[in-house]
Amino acid sequence: MRRRTPRLNRKPWDTSGGVPARARIAVIRAEYNEEITRSLETKCLEGLAEGGVGRDQVDCFTVPGCFEIPLVAAKLAALGCYDVIITLGAVIKGDTLHFELVAQECARGVMNVALEQGVPVIFEVLATRTRQDARRRAGDNRMNKGFEAARAALAMVATMGRLEEEATCRSTSASKRR
């Protein structure tokens, strides 16, 4: 049996092998707190482009708020044509429990989509105490969480591709032994 040597020197977002030209990426952006979420989306698209993803490989969708993200993510995942889904939003703490409810249920919903559909869902919905904190995380720099979401998405496309190759390799090996 062939054993693979782990690539220990590789950063998790390293896509030096390139992103397949067939890779399809969906980006879902909540419109609520639009100044912040637009910045996340802009940097996310820049990060994807830097990673070698063509604009024609990315479809962008908007939803009114973060609570609606999981439903759209589920519909997109069920289509079976996206390799990864990126979710972008901002929930800022107010005087009620609404903040906790929306942030927690959005996170739970997108995790359920990923686990049930087998499609990676990158969760970059900011949950901050203040608008200033949200602006800092969505700044016009490489620390912008949208840029980080793009890197995570590229890493997951690469990882899922390697897993598919491994499954094919194992399937081929098993059929040869029969």
In the chain (178 residues long), the average pLDDT of successive 10-residue segments reads: 36 52 92 95 95 94 96 97 96 79 92 96 94 91 91 93 74 58
Is residue 147 a contact partner of residue 44, using CB atoms and an 8 Å limit?
Answer: yes
Confidence (pTM): 0.83
Look at strands 58-63 and 25-30 and give their pairing.
Answer: parallel
Q: Which of 7, 98, 108, 162 is catalytic?
A: 98
Active site residue 7: no
pLDDT of residue 19: 67
pLDDT of residue 84: 97
Single out the residue of 77, 168, 67, 163 nearest to residue 120, CA to CA: 77
Single out the residue of 159, 131, 154 nearest to residue 37, CA to CA: 131
Which CATH number applies to 25-177? Answer: 3.40.50.960
pLDDT of residue 7: 37
